[in-house]
Amino acid sequence: MQDLAVNLGIDVLFKGTNFIRLLGGLWTALWISLVSVAISIPLGIGMGVLMTKKNRILKAVLRVYLEFIRIMPQLVLLFIMFFGTTRAFGWDLSGEAASIIVFVLWGTAEMGDLVRGALISIPKHQYESSEALGLTNTQTYLYVIIPQTIRRLIPLSINLITRMIKTTSLILMIGVVEVLKVAQQIIEANRMTSPNGAFGVYLTVFLLYFIACWPISMLAKYLEKKWS
Amino acid sequence: MDLNAIAEYLPLFGEAALLTVKLGILGIIFSIIIGLICAVVQYYKVPVIRRIVSVYIEISRNTPLLVQLFFIYYGLPKVGIPTDAETCGIAGLAFLGGSYMAEAFRSGLESVDKIQTESAYSLGMNKMQTMRYVILPQAISVSIPAFVANVIFLMKETSVFSAISLLDLMFMAKDLMGMYNDTVEALCLLVGFYLIILLPISIVGTIVERRVRRAGFGS
Amino acid sequence: MADALLTIDNIVKRFGDNTILDGISFSVKKSEVIVIVGPSGCGKSTLLRCINALEPIQDGKITLDGEVIERNSKTLPLLRQRIGMVFQSYDLFPHLTVLDNILLAPCKVQKRDKEEVKQEAMSLLERVGLKEKAKSYPRELSGGQKQRVAIVRALCMHPEILLFDEVTAALDPEMVREVLDVMLDLAKQGRTMLIVTHEMQFARAIADRIIFLDNGKIVEEATPDEFFDNPKTERAKQFLNTFEFDSVRAKKELAE
């Protein structure tokens, strides 16, 4: 049993505070994504509503923003923010701050598109029949449109959280000490005593991400089914 | 901005872009194959295999590519499975992409009305013929928007390949920034090349989508 | 019964605890037209689907010309080729043109010569008045036109018997006639047909025999004239009454 643990490099996890350190790294990834989602949702709702407005220039600007953010790999965005803007504007930005800014820019774009999609998917006759019932504009939104869009949006926004969490794995590349970075450090420090550490530790990181994301995905799936 | 530096680095970035495209395309091809198999297994509710497929899909969708790659590239050799960087990149992308493609195809298959299968059966077609001539052609046209989104998503995901020491675009950019401090130039090249790779896919995707929608299969 | 083409022998069909068909037996002779009527949910559509083995049966036997129709048997696709079926709606393949819809099974399943099938398809289309629609897609057709194409598609397989499952139920009223006319024409040609329908006048005109189904059982089996003029059972009378409307005006006048 002992041998197997050494061979698979699982023993490293039980040395000292290694496992706790990994969890600490995961927590960094989680709080960065949660903060980013929390900021993205209100901004995204605002953007989504603006995108349904008739103003041509506004629409074009938002469109370009959305398309650029969506077509660029998140890692490229992280590089631009962390290396590019600090260089170009001479300010100082920590890896965490750069990550949150990029995730918020990205989350706002995604959320905005979801909100826009949900708003335009409400059939016109819903507005018309509300009007026919004598509801005011505000009442129509409050009692008819918003409840319907929220049901569509909640599962999709929950999915956005898992996408954020998964994307946090990238911030290692701009020097944030998150779970993968901690894993690297642990493997490096125990290189002599546990040469196979890479297997056990990376497998653990893999499972940690799964444990963090899977329940959230399941919740989104459940709500989607329940409300569709 | 130092245009000379850009000119100097252009060929290197070009090569890196080719590597990105090559690995991306191979990974996507395998994703499509895995995705099709998984989708058909789920559609026919093949016992046992269907459970395995759904476990795979959950694992693949709920873990980041970078972590998958680290495990395949640094972890697997420790238990006697040697991996070289390119194979590893393709395998990682296929492992991730397979589940996304499976979901796209499955929703396409499920969108085909049951009566279509029944009328094919009642014309004497067997399962294979029904799948090939009746269900797949309809399912594929429904899957196209999700399929195009997946292709773009997977191409973007290749950006993490530099982490397993593949000399891709990100690697070049990092190199240029680290060695010569040409940050702005490096980032411009990076963005430029990703646009060259991804914009055409996005545009072609939009055109295909529009054409399919105009053909308006279904009722 | 020696000359029976299709024999249904005491079949039972259940969905869970629900018995849909409860010991149905009858047979169809060559060139015979049988119409099955009954209230909604009486199991008449399920019966047709069982004959084509689209639904499994829990007991009993269905044979076509002596060969047993069984789900999951190797010969099922062969037997199904000999049974033509037309559904209520949406059964044309939307990604194929009208002509390709018709050609698909004869060419790919029966491996017949494409040109020969094409000629046959065109002459059948002409017969149902849709020759100029051969290159159209199903979405460009009206409901009645779609159903006529579906009938031609079934005919091109040269089936020995045709099953019609409420083929006019989803149509706008003005399109019902054109489809029923095609079916009357087929009956005149001596085709063997098993029809489920809600069109009572049509049933009376086309049927050699009427089978009245209720609660999964055959309640009455008779010639059309007998069934419609002198139904023997109370349930058949009640069922036929649902097609009658008392004049409201007459009642109002009586009340005054």
Does the CB of A222 have a partner CB in chain B at under 8 Å? no
> Per the CB < 8 Å rule, is A205 touching B152?
no
Chains that touch A (3 or more CB pairs under 8 A): B
pLDDT at A72: 92
Q: Which residues contact A85 (CB under 8 A, 6 or more apart)?
A: A91, A93
The radius of gyration of chain B's CA atoms, rounded to the nearest angstrom, is 21
Give the whole-angstrom CA distance, residue B109 versus residue B38: 12
- Count of A-B CB contacts under 8 Å: 113
> Per the CB < 8 Å rule, is B119 touching C85?
yes
The phi and psi torsions of B9 (rounded to 5 degrees) equal -85, -10
What's the distance, Cα to Cα, between the start and end of chain B in Å?
Answer: 56
> Per the CB < 8 Å rule, is B123 touching C109?
yes
Q: Which residues contact C233 (CB under 8 A, 6 or more apart)?
A: C212, C219, C220
pLDDT at A105: 95
- At C181-210, the pLDDT tens digits run 999 999 999 999 999 998 899 999 999 999
Structural domain including C212 reads 4-255
3-state per-residue secondary structure call for B95-147: HHHHHHHHHHHHHHHHHCCHHHHHHHHHCCCCHHHHHHHHHHHHHHHHHHHHH
pLDDT at B155: 94
Count of CA atoms in the C-beta half-sphere (13 A) of B18? 5
Partners of B75 on chain A (C-beta within 8 Å) are 198-203
Q: Residue C78 is nearest to which of B116, B124, B137, comparing CB atoms?
A: B124
- In Å, how far is B109's CA from the nearest CA of chain C? 14
Give the whole-angstrom CA distance, residue C83 versus residue C163: 7
What domains are defined for chain B?
3-215 (1.10.3720.10)
- Count of B-C CB contacts under 8 Å: 73
The answer to whether A213 touches B63, Cβ cutoff 8 Å, is yes
Residue C1 has pLDDT above 50, yes or no: no
Q: Which residue type does C115 have?
A: E
Residues in B 145-174 with any Cβ partner in A closer than 8 A: 152, 156-160, 162-163, 170, 173
**CATH code at C158?**
3.40.50.300
Partners of C45 on chain B (C-beta within 8 Å) are none
The phi and psi torsions of B47 (rounded to 5 degrees) equal -60, 155
- In Å, how far is B116's CA from the nearest CA of chain A? 24
Q: How many residues in chain C?
A: 256
The answer to whether C85 touches C96, Cβ cutoff 8 Å, is no
Q: Is chain C in touch with chain A: ≥3 Cβ pairs within 8 A?
A: no
List beta partners, residue C33: C193
Handedness of CA A173, A179, A184, A188 (dihedral sign): positive
pLDDT in tens, chain B (219 residues): 677 878 888 888 999 999 999 999 999 999 999 999 999 999 999 999 999 999 999 999 999 999 999 999 998 888 888 888 999 999 999 999 999 999 999 999 999 988 999 999 999 999 899 999 999 989 988 898 899 999 999 999 999 998 888 888 988 888 888 877 778 888 999 999 999 999 999 999 888 888 776 665 543
pLDDT in tens, chain A (228 residues): 567 666 777 777 777 788 888 898 889 889 999 999 999 999 998 998 888 888 899 989 999 999 999 899 999 999 999 988 888 888 888 989 999 999 999 999 999 999 988 888 888 888 888 888 888 888 888 888 888 888 888 888 888 899 999 999 999 888 888 888 888 888 888 888 877 888 888 999 999 999 999 999 999 989 888 887
**Domains contained in chain C, number:** 1
What's the distance, Cα to Cα, between the start and end of chain C in Å?
Answer: 59
Partners of A206 on chain B (C-beta within 8 Å) are 63, 67-68, 71
A83 C-beta neighbours (distance < 10 Å), count: 21
Helix (H, G, I), strand (E, B) or coil at C68: strand
At the second CATH level, the architecture of A2-227 is: Orthogonal Bundle (1.10)
Region C26-33: mean pLDDT is 92
Partners of C85 on chain B (C-beta within 8 Å) are 119, 122
Mean of per-residue pLDDT scores for chain C? 89
Pick from A209, A162, A161, A164: which is nearest to A183 by CA?
A: A209
Helix (H, G, I), strand (E, B) or coil at C38: coil
Q: Which two tokens stand for residue B26?
A: 């191979």
pLDDT at B218: 42
Integer angstrom CA distances of residue A138 from A150, A156, B85, B97: 16, 25, 58, 44
Best B159, B171, B182, B204 residue to mutate vs chain A (most A CBs within 10 Å) = B159
- In Å, how far is B126's CA from the nearest CA of chain A? 33
Q: Which two tokens stand for residue C161?
A: 């018997």
> Per the CB < 8 Å rule, is C83 touching B122?
yes
Partners of A83 on chain B (C-beta within 8 Å) are 177, 183, 187
What is the biggest distance separating any 2 CA atoms in chain C, rounded to whole angstroms? 73
Region C36-49: mean pLDDT is 89
The phi and psi torsions of B63 (rounded to 5 degrees) equal -135, 150
ipTM more than 0.85?
yes
